[in-house]
Structures are given as structure tokens and as C-alpha cells.
């Protein structure tokens, strides 16, 4: 482990625990639903569409309004401003008006004196529909280029010539599923009307500024009339980037109508039906490669299920295109991204934001290529890794300058003793007729920064009080990932005071305005830098005061271990704070940061969208039962690059959590829509996220040592929130390996993700049939 930088408690690189760890486990950490209601507060419930595609003929609220306890009921007609909450494009209605475009779309809402009365009244709303034919699958939408946004392209070289001249050529199709965020705290907001036009909104959101904008647009009031606040979320995972705007804006319209505080908290089933998820993708590939596995050209279509409106789909698709290279140099390529429109709930951001799907594609294709050539996957990968100083330009024209993938892969290989591990797996399979084991590795390269340059900025606000205590505020939000403690460590380090002196305060649009979402894993990169900037300004002023006090040049003043020194004389940080006040020196500052170097041309899909890359590698062993299709992960070894980690304890938690979440996406979590377009998996009884007993019994996660970020990030750390999710692709490839063992590793498995028992069983049967003809 790299040592902390300083002797203070909780400086950077110290493994201090999450500031709310005790609160999370004792229940004293306050979530929105724990805030005591003020008298007169109302609870709200939603009316959801029962058809995936229909014209709304009429909505009759009268029975609901007449019901006991009901104070207000609304439809689109009650929206005073614009019925549009689109985060990227426009025309995405808050409440359905003329048509509904997915089952579970929000049509109306009711507020009543109690939650039970609101939910009962919502059932009395009568909606008459004229049913229209729905488009339910990506394939149907893709066939007609039925899209929510323009098609995206990325090209390099003469792909047709490259495919023709290659020694081998393979083509095919496969699919990966979506994923519900399944945050423990569901979507929730409390909207309170204030004086005049003012509104205060508590929202469980990763993006307070977008909620502020959404509420203002819908109510038709200026941004400065809306204050949005969030202390913490019980998980967001991308599901609280754009979706909370819907919840908050509905609460606000109900609050406007009733002139009362309104709380809208969705029950799990409504949450799963009405809010967006990870995008399922359908892929079609045509690849040319030589005998040694060298890829000559890849023609890849990535068709995302965007659902009924664009929401984040265009940006998720861009990130998928930007990660379909993973760690590999592709001399010629044609990527086409289709943001397909279907009559299912609009999909949105989810940890990795298209990156996992892009990497899923290339890693699956490499598996297919390797089996075809009867080569180990690792050999084919090695043949195609980005080079150092050559073959190092990505499909979008960015040079990979910080490539350490081979070092990471070799480190994992050695520490996990991969050769011996592999031998034990193949030996097991020789003597086990029913249970088959699989083992696979995966390398990961993930780009850090928002693809849209404007979002790579952050602000912070730091106050020092006269007793030396500090309050810290910034635009980032806390969703369990440990952002608040990391940024507090940065301020502690900068001011050289123990982290216990720093009080972390709720994110609010009233303190730091115009913020970006806490997303793209860049929370600590951006807000850490902004907070450092604020703390440095105050430190600079306090240094002047100390220099005057000790009568020495500024350069002789040092801050260290909670004290300020001039040679062998010193005073405490608190004493210097009082002294500064006495001299009428401001102890408050706003900080700002923007990421350097990044730019992006969306029309050509080229630029430098990422400030840097983060790397990782994993190996996973699974066992499948060839008679039932059941599957378990037996062992996982992870190695993740965190640069110089700001907090190794927090980062390890992120690595383990992301991996398990990725495991759920690829193995057990299945979203099932029936042929009528109804989501059939909308609760924990039918939708299976990993439980504690699904965690691999042998599970080792490590942070790569001696790997400072080459770029000047906050104390040379690297972002960690999303990248390790993609390490779970090792599990996907291990399941494929186990199935492939049935052909003595000569054939690639025919299977889509997630690897549910029925899919594994079908793939096993298919493999046995094909193996028999070899
Ligand atoms: N960790 C926890 N515990 N809960 C979450 O909701 N969200 C993930 C990741 N880790 C999440 C999490 C996602 S999608 C992102 S983008 C990052 O955290 C956001 O926080 P960061 O930028 O501070 O890493
Ligand atoms: Mo994370 S999907 O960028 O919120």
C-alpha cells in the first residue's frame, strides 16, 4: 500500500472510512424518506400506462379527486410551463399527453393526506386508450432505422479492402441485456412551495442542477427560484442522473397545485416500470484477421435499445463506440451506432455508460476469433494490444499516451498463478462429466472524462470558522461511493489539518451553481480539484497573516500537522483563523476547476474526449451444471489501476462492488418484456440481483501499486467508480469457456448475456450438437 502523504489524520492516500459508515449501518444516516414531514405535507402516487403504445382518448380524474384525502390530481394539462424534461435533446414529456409510448409511462399523479390514500386514489383514475401497434425489439427497430437520435459513425482506413485481404473472416450477431439500477433507496423527491414563486426541492439525485432546471422549466419559473438539495442517495448507479427530474418535477407540480409540501416516493414496482435502465445492445460484426490473430479490420454495428425517447441514449452510444476498441489497435474499422427507438421504458445512464456494452462486443468477438484459430484468448489479445509509440491511435483519433495494459495483465497473471490455475480447471473438466469449469481473463481500458467537454468543470465552497473548524461544499453528490470523504481528505491535506475538522455538507444548487452530474466516475477528479483550489486560496491568505505575525517572508511559513510554523515558532490552525479574522482577512472561498486538454467533435466522432485512461485486469473461474444450466462464480482475482489512490479502503470497496454489479448484469439480472410489451420482472421476486452468497468464495481485489497518473489529476489519483464493473466481463468469458470445453475448446459458445440457466442450457445443447459433428 502506498503510504499517506502527511502525518495528519485522514489526509490523502489514507484509508479512512466512509464518513457515513456508522450512520449507514446504524440507521442514523438520514435519507429523504427519514426527514420528518411538516404538518400538512402530502404524499403522492403515480398513474402508469397499461399499454406500450396507445393514443390517450381521455383521462378522467373525477373519481380520484372525490376520493378520501385527495388534495390534488394532475395530468399534462396541469403543467404551467413546458411539458419537457429531456436532458440532452428536447420533447420528452414529463407526463404523457397525446400518446403513451411504453407500458409504465407516467400519465397522471395524485397527492393525498396519506400515502395509502394517494395510492388508492391513483387506482381510480380512468384512462381511455386507443391501442396502437408497438415496436418492442431492437431488431425490429434496427431493421427500419427507427431511432431516437441520429445514427453515429466511426471510421478508419479501407474497411472493405481490409476484410477482403484478411486470411480469415467471420461474421455474426449477439446480444446483451439491460439492467435495472436496483438502488436500495428508490426514486424520491420532496417539493415545498416557499414565498412567492420560490420552490425548495429535496431530491435523491446525482444531478441537482438538472433537477433545478427541470422543475423550473415545468413550473415556468427562473432557475434562481428553485433550490435543490441532496445530502446523500441510497445508491444511484446512473439511474439518478436524469430520472430524478421526472420525480421532482411531478412533486413540484402537485405542490404548486396544492400549495403544500409534496413527497413522491415510488414503490419498487413503479420504480422499475417507470424509470430507465441500462441499454440492452444488439451487435452485428464482420471481422477479418490473420493466422496469428492479428485483426485487419472490424465492421461492427452497435444497436442500443434507447426505449421510447432519447434521454441519455446518444451519449451512452457514443461512449459505447469509444470503448468498442477496449485495449486493441484496429487498423481498419467501421463502427455504426444505432440509437433504436422501441416502445419500452427509455433507457438511461448506468455505471459504465455504454462502455461495458462496447467492451462486451470486442471481447466476445476476440473469444470467437481465438476459438476459430484454436489459440488462447490471451495470445490473440497480445497480438492486438495498443503499442507504445506505435499502433496507438484510437478509432476516434485520440493517442493512447498512458498505456500500461500489458504491465497490468502480466502482474495479474503472475499474482494469480494463471498457468497453474488453468491446468487445474482443464484437469477438473477431464474427469467431471456434468459439472464443467471455465476460466477467463479480461483486460480493461476505460476513458475518464465526460465525452461532452463542457461537463468537465466543477465548483466548491470552503469556509474556515474562527475555531479552526471547516465546512466543505461542492457540486458533487454522495451516493455511497465515498466522494465526500475523498474531497474532505483533499481539503485536510491542503490545509494540513485532521479530516475530523472538516464538516461535509449537503449538495445544494444554492451554494455551488451550474454543476455537472456526479457521473462518468469523475466526481473526485473534478470536485477534488475545485475544493483544493478553494482551500489553497484561503491558505494563501492565512499564510500572509502568519508571515506578518511572525515577521518572516511568506516562503518561510509552513502548514503541517494542524499547526503553522515559522522556523521553530508555531501557532495552531485555530489560532491563525482567529488572527485572520482579527486582521479582517476573508476565510471563505469558492474554488473552480476545468479539465485541461479535452475536446470532442460530435459530427466526426473524433477528438480527445478523455483526459486519461484507467486500466485493469481480472480473472474469474466459474462452474456450470450441464444438466440444469445453473452457474456459479468460484473465484475472482481483480487488479485495478487507481493511480495514487486517494483512499485505498474506499477504492477497494468500489472495485468489489462494481465487479459484483457487473456480475449481476452478465449472469442473473434479466429484464423480461412479454410479447404485449409489459415488463414482467419489476420486483426482487423476479429480478435477481446478486446476493451475498453469490459473491465468489475466493475473491481478491488489489489496487495496482506505483502507478501515479501521468496527467496532473488530484494528487495523481485516477477515477474508480465505473471501470471495475467491466472486470466482470471475465465471468462472461469464463462461462463461454466452460461451454467451449464441451468441444475440447475448439468451438465458441452460442450464447447471449445474461447467462441465465435457460440460456446456458440451450448453449450447452447447441455446443454438444456442433461438437458431435467435428
Ligand atoms: N458506488 C455506490 N456505492 N453507489 C453508487 O450509486 N455509482 C457509480 C459509482 N459508484 C455508485 C457507486 C457510478 S455510475 C458512478 S458514475 C460513480 O460512482 C460516481 O461517483 P464518482 O464520480 O465520485 O466516482
Ligand atoms: Mo455513472 S453511469 O456515470 O452515473
In tens, the pLDDT along 256-307 reads 999 999 999 999 999 999 999 999 999 999 999 999 999 999 999 999 999 9
DSSP code of residue 258: H
Print burial letters for 335-362: b (CB count within 10 Å at least 16), e (below 16). bbbbbbbbbbbbbbbbbbbbbbbbbbbb
Evaluate the CA torsion angle 680, 682, 688, 690 in order and state its sign: positive
Report whether pLDDT(1) > 90. Answer: no
Closest ligand to C-alpha of residue 659 is 1
Containing 702, the helix (H) or strand (E) segment is strand 698-703
DSSP code of residue 432: -
Q: What is the mean pLDDT of residues 631-641?
A: 98
713/646 Cα distance (integer angstroms): 11
Q: State the virtual CA torsion across 71, 74, 80, 86 in degrees, nearest 10.
A: 130
Q: What is the mean pLDDT of residues 20-35?
A: 97
C-alpha radius of gyration, the chain, whole number: 27
Tell me, what's the pLDDT at 440?
A: 98
Residue 68 burial class via C-beta count within 10 angstroms: exposed 0-12, middle 13-18, buried 19 and up: exposed
> 591, 587, 547: which is closest to 566 by C-alpha?
547
Task: Decide whether any atom of ligand 2 lies within 6 Å of the 726 Cβ.
Answer: no
Confidence of residue 3 (pLDDT cuts 50, 70, 90): confident
Report whether pLDDT(709) > 60. Answer: yes
- Please choose from 721, 725, 727 the residue to mutate so as to test ligand 1's pocket, defined by most ligand atoms within 8 A of CB: 721
440/619 Cα distance (integer angstroms): 6
Alpha helices in 554-693 (DSSP H): 573-582, 648-666
Distance from Cα 34 to the centre of ligand 1, integer Å? 22
Q: Do the beta carbons of residue 699 and residue 635 sit within 8 Å?
A: yes
Alpha helices in 264-354 (DSSP H): 268-274, 313-321
2/521 Cα distance (integer angstroms): 22
Distance from Cα 276 to the centre of ligand 2, integer Å? 13
Confidence of residue 2 (pLDDT cuts 50, 70, 90): low
- Please choose from 87, 178, 233, 241 the residue to mutate so as to test ligand 2's pocket, defined by most ligand atoms within 8 A of CB: 241
The model's pLDDT over 454-485, given as tens digits with 9 standing for 90+, comes to 999 999 999 999 999 999 999 999 999 999 99
What are the backbone dihedrals phi and psi of residue 457, each rounded to the nearest 5 degrees, phi first?
-145, 155
Q: Do the beta carbons of residue 667 and residue 661 sit within 8 Å?
A: no
How much is the mean pLDDT over the chain? 97
Which residues form ligand 1's pocket by a CB distance below 6 Å?
A: 235-238, 351, 479-481, 483, 518-524, 654, 657, 719, 721-722
Containing 731, the helix (H) or strand (E) segment is helix 729-740
Task: Decide whether any atom of ligand 2 lies within 6 Å of the 238 Cβ.
Answer: yes
Helix, coil or strand: residue 510: coil
Tell me, what's the pLDDT at 185?
A: 98
Q: Which atom of ligand 1 is nearest to the CA of 520?
A: 16
- The cell numbers describing 570, all together, are 508555531
Looking only at the bridges linking them, the beta strands covering 606-608 and 502-504 are: unpaired
> 250, 265, 267, 263: which is closest to 74 by C-alpha?
250
Looking only at the bridges linking them, the beta strands covering 698-703 and 631-640 are: parallel
The model's pLDDT over 54-84, given as tens digits with 9 standing for 90+, comes to 999 999 999 999 999 999 999 999 999 999 9
The pTM is what? 0.98
Taking each helix axis from N to C terminus, what angle separates 355-373 and 377-384, rounded to the nearest 10 degrees? Answer: 110
> 341, 338, 355, 270: which is closest to 311 by C-alpha?
341
- Please choose from 21, 186, 205, 237 the residue to mutate so as to test ligand 1's pocket, defined by most ligand atoms within 8 A of CB: 237
The model's pLDDT over 662-697, given as tens digits with 9 standing for 90+, comes to 999 999 999 999 999 999 999 999 999 999 999 999
Neighbours of 39 (CB within 10 A): 6
Ramachandran quadrant class, 524 (left: phi over 0; alpha: psi -120 to 50; beta: rest) = alpha
Task: Decide whether any atom of ligand 2 lies within 6 Å of the 109 Cβ.
Answer: no
Q: Do the beta carbons of residue 239 and residue 348 sit within 8 Å?
A: yes
**Ligand 1 atom 1 nearest Cα:** 481
Q: What is the mean pLDDT of residues 137-142?
A: 96
606 has which bridge partners?
601
Print burial letters for 538-562: b (CB count within 10 Å at least 16), e (below 16). bbebbbebbbebbeeeeeebebeeb
449/453 Cα distance (integer angstroms): 8
**Ligand 1 atom 12 nearest Cα:** 481
Q: Do the beta carbons of residue 351 and residue 314 sit within 8 Å?
A: no
Q: Catalytic residues, which ones?
A: 722
The model's pLDDT over 372-388, given as tens digits with 9 standing for 90+, comes to 999 999 999 999 999 99
368/171 Cα distance (integer angstroms): 10
Tell me, what's the pLDDT at 203?
A: 98
The Cβ-side half-sphere exposure at 93, using a 13 Å CA radius, reads 18
**Ligand 1 atom 7 nearest Cα:** 237
Q: What is the largest CA-CA distance in the chain?
A: 90
Neighbours of 575 (CB within 10 A): 16
Cis preceding-peptide flag for 14 (omega within 30 of 0): no
Residues 6+ apart with CB under 8 A from 519: 206, 207, 238, 241, 349, 353, 450
| Angle made by CA atoms 96, 309, 243, in degrees to the nearest 5 | 75
Q: 3-state SS string over 670-725?
A: CCCECCCCCECCCCCCCCCCCCHHHCCCEEEEEECCCCCCCCCCHHHECCCCCHHH
- Please choose from 244, 520, 725 the residue to mutate so as to test ligand 2's pocket, defined by most ligand atoms within 8 A of CB: 520
Closest ligand to C-alpha of residue 181 is 1
Closest ligand to C-alpha of residue 474 is 1
Helix, coil or strand: residue 190: strand
| Angle made by CA atoms 487, 488, 494, in degrees to the nearest 5 | 90
Q: What is the mean pLDDT of residues 243-257?
A: 98
Edge-to-edge order in the sheet of strand 54-60: 99-100, 54-60, 126-131
Closest ligand to C-alpha of residue 238 is 2
522/540 Cα distance (integer angstroms): 27
The model's pLDDT over 163-219, given as tens digits with 9 standing for 90+, comes to 999 999 999 999 999 999 999 999 999 999 999 999 999 999 999 999 999 999 999
58/42 Cα distance (integer angstroms): 26
390/36 Cα distance (integer angstroms): 61
Distance from Cα 521 to the centre of ligand 2, integer Å? 7
Residues 6+ apart with CB under 8 A from 278: 178, 179, 180, 181, 238, 347, 350, 356, 665
Q: Which atom of ligand 2 is nearest to the CA of 351?
A: 2
228/241 Cα distance (integer angstroms): 14
Instruction: Report CA-CA distances (Å) from 279 to 218, 313, 520.
Output: 27, 8, 16
Distance from Cα 659 to the centre of ligand 2, integer Å? 15
Tell me, what's the pLDDT at 4?
A: 87
Taking each helix axis from N to C terminus, what angle separates 243-258 and 208-219, rounded to the nearest 10 degrees? Answer: 40
Amino acid at each position: 500500500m502506498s503510504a499517506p502523504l502527511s502525518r495528519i489524520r485522514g489526509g490523502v492516500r489514507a484509508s479512512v472510512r466512509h464518513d457515513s459508515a456508522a450512520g449507514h449501518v446504524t440507521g442514523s444516516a438520514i435519507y429523504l424518506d427519514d426527514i420528518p414531514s411538516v404538518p400538512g405535507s402530502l404524499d403522492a402516487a403515480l398513474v402508469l400506462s397499461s399499454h406500450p403504445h396507445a393514443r390517450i382518448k381521455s383521462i378522467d380524474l373525477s373519481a380520484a379527486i372525490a376520493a378520501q384525502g385527495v388534495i390534488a390530481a394532475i395530468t399534462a394539462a396541469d403543467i404551467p410551463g413546458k411539458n419537457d424534461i429531456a436532458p440532452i435533446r428536447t420533447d420528452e414529456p414529463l407526463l404523457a399527453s397525446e400518446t403513451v409510448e411504453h407500458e409504465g409511462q407516467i400519465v397522471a399523479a395524485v397527492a393525498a393526506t396519506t400515502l395509502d390514500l394517494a395510492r388508492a386514489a391513483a387506482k381510480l383514475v380512468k384512462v381511455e386508450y386507443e391501442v396502437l401497434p408497438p415496436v418492442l425489439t431492437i431488431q425490429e427497430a434496427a431493421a427500419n432505422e427507427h431511432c431516437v437520435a441520429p445514427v453515429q459513425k466511426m471510421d478508419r482506413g479501407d474497411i472493405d479492402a481490409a476484410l477482403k485481404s484478411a486470411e480469415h473472416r467471420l461474421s455474426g450477431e449477439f446480444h446483451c441485456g439491460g439492467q435495472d439500477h436496483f438502488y436500495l433507496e428508490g426514486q424520491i423527491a420532496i417539493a415545498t412551495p416557499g414565498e412567492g414563486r420560490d420552490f425548495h426541492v429535496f431530491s435523491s439525485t446525482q444531478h441537482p442542477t438538472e433537477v433545478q432546471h427541470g422543475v423550473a422549466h415545468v413550473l415556468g419559473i427562473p432557475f434562481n427560484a428553485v433550490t435543490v438539495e441532496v445530502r446523500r442517495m441510497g445508491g444511484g448507479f446512473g439511474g439518478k442522473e436524469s430520472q430524478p427530474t421526472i420525480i421532482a418535477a411531478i412533486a413540484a407540480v402537485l405542490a404548486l397545485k396544492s400549495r403544500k409540501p409534496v413527497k413522491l416516493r415510488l414503490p419498487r414496482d413503479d420504480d422499475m416500470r417507470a424509470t430507465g435502465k441500462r441499454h440492452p445492445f444488439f451487435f452485428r460484426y464482420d471481422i477479418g484477421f490473420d493466422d496469428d490473430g492479428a485483426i485487419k479490420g472490424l465492421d461492427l454495428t452497435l444497436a442500443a435499445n434507447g426505449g421510447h425517447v432519447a434521454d441519455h441514449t446518444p451519449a451512452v452510444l457514443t461512449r459505447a463506440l469509444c470503448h468498442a476498441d477496449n485495449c486493441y489497435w484496429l487498423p481498419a474499422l467501421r463502427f455504426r451506432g444505432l440509437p433504436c427507438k422501441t416502445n419500452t421504458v427509455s433507457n438511461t445512464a448506468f455505471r459504465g455508460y455504454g462502455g461495458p456494452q462496447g467492451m462486451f462486443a470486442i471481447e466476445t468477438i476476440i473469444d470467437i476469433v481465438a476459438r476459430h484459430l484454436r489459440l488462447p484468448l490471451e495470445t490473440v489479445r497480445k497480438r492486438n494490444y495498443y503499442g507504445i509509440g506505435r499502433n496507438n491511435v484510437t478509432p476516434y483519433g485520440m493517442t493512447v499516451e498512458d498505456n500500461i495494459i500489458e504491465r497490468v495483465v502480466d502482474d495479474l497473471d503472475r499474482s494469480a498463478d494463471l498457468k497453474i490455475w488453468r491446468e487445474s480447471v482443464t484437469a477438473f473438466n477431464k474427469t467431471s462429466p456434468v459439472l464443467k469449469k471455465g476460466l477467463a481473463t479480461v483486460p480493461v481500458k476505460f476513458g475518464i472524462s465526460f465525452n461532452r467537454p463542457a461537463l468537465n468543470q466543477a465548483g466548491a465552497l470552503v469556509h474556515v470558522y474562527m475555531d479552526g473548524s471547516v465546512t466543505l461544499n461542492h457540486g458533487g453528490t454522495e451516493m455511497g461511493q465515498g466522494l465526500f470523504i475523498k474531497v474532505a481528505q483533499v481539503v485536510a491535506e491542503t490545509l494540513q489539518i485532521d479530516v475530523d475538522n472538516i464538516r461535509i455538507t449537503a449538495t445544494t444548487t444554492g451554494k455551488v451553481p451550474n454543476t455537472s452530474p456526479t457521473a462518468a466516475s469523475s466526481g473526485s477528479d473534478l470536485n477534488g480539484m475545485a475544493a483544493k483550489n478553494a482551500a489553497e486560496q484561503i491558505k494563501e491568505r492565512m499564510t500572509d497573516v502568519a508571515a506578518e505575525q511572525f515577521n518572516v517572508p511568506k516562503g518561510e511559513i509552513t502548514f503541517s500537522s494542524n499547526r503553522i510554523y515559522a522556523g521553530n515558532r508555531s501557532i495552531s490552525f485555530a489560532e491563525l483563523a482567529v488572527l485572520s479574522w482579527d486582521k479582517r482577512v476573508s476565510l471563505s472561498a469558492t474554488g473552480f476547476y476545468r479539465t485541461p486538454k479535452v475536446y470532442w467533435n460530435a459530427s466526426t466522432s473524433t477528438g480527445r474526449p478523455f483526459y486519461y485512461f484507467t486500466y485493469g485486469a481480472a480473472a474469474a473461474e466459474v462452474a456450470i451444471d450441464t444438466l440444469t444450466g445453473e452457474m456459479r462464480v468460484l473465484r475472482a482475482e481483480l487488479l485495478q489501476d487507481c493511480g495514487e489512490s486517494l483512499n485505498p479502503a474506499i477504492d477497494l470497496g468500489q472495485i468489489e462492488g462494481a465487479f459484483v454489479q457487473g456480475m449481476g448484469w452478465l449472469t442473473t439480472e434479466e429484464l423480461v418484456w412479454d410479447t404485449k410489451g409489459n415488463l414482467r420482472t419489476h420486483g426482487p421476486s423476479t429480478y435477481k440481483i446478486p446476493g451475498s452468497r453469490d459473491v465468489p468464495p475466493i475473491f481478491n481485489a488489489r489496487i495496482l501499486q506505483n502507478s501515479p497518473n501521468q496527467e496532473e489529476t488530484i494528487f495523481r489519483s485516477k477515477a474508480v467508480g465505473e471501470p471495475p464493473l467491466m472486470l466482470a466481463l471475465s465471468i462472461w468469458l469464463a462461462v463461454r469457456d466452460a461451454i467451449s470445453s464441451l468441444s475440447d475448446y475448439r468451438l465458441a459458445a452460442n450464447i447471449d448475456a445474461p447467462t441465465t440457466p435457460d440460456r446456458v442450457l440451450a448453449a450447452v445443447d447447441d455446443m454438444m450438437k456442433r461438437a458431435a459433428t467435428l
